[in-house]
Structure 1
Amino acid sequence: MELSGVEAIQARISEIQRRFGIEGSVPGMASNFQRTLTAELKKKEEAVPAQKTAAGTAAKTEAGAAQATSHVGASAELSGASNETAHFIREAAAKYGLDSRLVAAVAEAESNGNQNEVSDAGAVGVMQLMPDTAAALGVNPYDEKQNIEGGAHYLKQMLDAFGGDMKKAIAAYNAGPQAVKDYDGVPPYAETQNYVNKVLDLYQ
């Protein structure tokens, strides 16, 4: 096993002491080695904090990266949703080229991410799809994965229909595209206006 600098110096001191019988038999020998030993110890002590600092910096960097990754991963998390629901949201967003945070925000505003949610008007599931809309999109609204895919697809259609205008697309998701066209913007319905504001707040 290779000796450290300090251990090597100590071994050398012992060897010299054995060779010369008692410490100091060689004038200046002990003091020279003592100075060398002290210098080596000082260098060792200075190196340890430096290593700790480097390790600490690396740990902080890794922690920061983990936190950033965690934040990205949490973008599709919902208050009432399972991890599986969040996974479906990320998949559907990727499939239609959408920001998962936007799909998640719509899901949160619609149902709190609850697939069992059914509105008085008959809208079903996480994305609150009306049966007719779901049929037109070719999905089964009672299947969670399909429900989320259908909602993401419809949201993508609304974004395309309104040139990427997010406010109009979100309003159209709630009130229908014709109402947005009729008013050339968010319709003056309290429900729709509150809905748009809620989605945008969640998205931010």
Structure 2
Amino acid sequence: MIDNVARSNRLRPELLHAIVRAESSYDPRARSRTGAMGLMQLMPATAKRYGVSDRWNPKANLNGGARYLKDLLSMFQNDLKLALAAYNAGENAVKKYGNKVPPFPETQQYVTRVLAFYQKNRKSANIPASR
């Protein structure tokens, strides 16, 4: 399902898997202390923005999260680090800090962790680092 959602949103499946792993460890019933829910840990406002009425529905959650990530990549000129930081801390936090990864330890660790998962996934799929 993750691979299909990634491809339908023109994202690399290895990237979506990295985010799902970091966000929920593939648990569709994951819930954060801040109210984020599901595989991609959608907050209520993000779910509403992307038309996700049931954040517990894995496919709807993945589609909403993938569309949000796609918009963040567009917003930050395909800068993956900034898009990931915005996914974690919100796009306004990234903008507030001059389009840089905000100085929040959680966000900095999140970006590092997702990029490491992504690199590992790409290596496992035999995708050259330059792609």
Fold match by TM threshold 0.5: yes
Could you tell me which runs of 5 or more consecutive residues in structure 1 were left unpaired when the two chains were aligned. 1-87
Q: Which one of 96, 111, 132 corresponds to residue 24 of structure 2? A: 111
Task: Give distance in 1, aligned partners of 2:90 and 2:37.
Answer: 16
Query: How far has the Cα of 1:106 moved from its partner?
Result: 0.5
TM-score by length of 2: 0.87
Q: Please tell me whether residue 162 in structure 1 is matched to residue 76 in structure 2.
A: yes
Q: Kindly report structure 1 stretches of 4+ aligned residues shifted beyond 2 Å.
A: none
Q: Structure 2 unaligned segments of length 5 or more: list them.
A: 120-131
The answer on 1:185 being equivalent to 2:100 is yes
Alpha-carbon separation, structure 2, partners of 1:91 and 1:134: 20
Letter in 1 for 2:102: P
Q: 1:92 & 1:185 partners in 2: Cα distance? A: 28
**Is residue 104 of structure 2 the alignment partner of residue 172 of structure 1?**
no
Deviations 1:173-203 (A, max 9, x none): 0000011111121000000000000000000
Larger radius of gyration: 1
DSSP 3-state at the match of 1:125: coil
- In the TM superposition, residue 92 of structure 1 has moved relative to its aligned partner by 1.1
CA-atom RMSD in angstroms: 0.7
After superposition, residues 55-94 of structure 1 pair within 5 angstroms as 88-94=1-7
TM-score (norm 1): 0.56
Q: For 1:123, which of 12, 31, 36 is the aligned residue?
A: 36
Correspondence for 1:144: 58
Identity of aligned residues (%): 48
Report the CA distance between 1:103 and its aligned residue.
0.6
Shift of 1:142: 1.4
2:125 equivalent in structure 1 = none
Match of 1:50 in 2: none
Following TM superposition, by how much is the alpha carbon of 1:132 offset from its aligned partner in structure 2, in angstroms? Answer: 1.6
Question: What's the offset of the Cα at 1:112?
Answer: 0.4
- 2:112 alignment partner in structure 1: 197
1:153 aligns with 2:88: no
Count of aligned positions? 117
The structure with more helix, counted as a fraction of residues:
1
Q: What CA distance in whole angstroms lies between the structure 2 residues aligned with 1:142 and 1:198?
A: 24
Paired residues for 1:5-84 under 5 Å: none
Tell me which amino acid in the other structure corresponds to 1:97: R
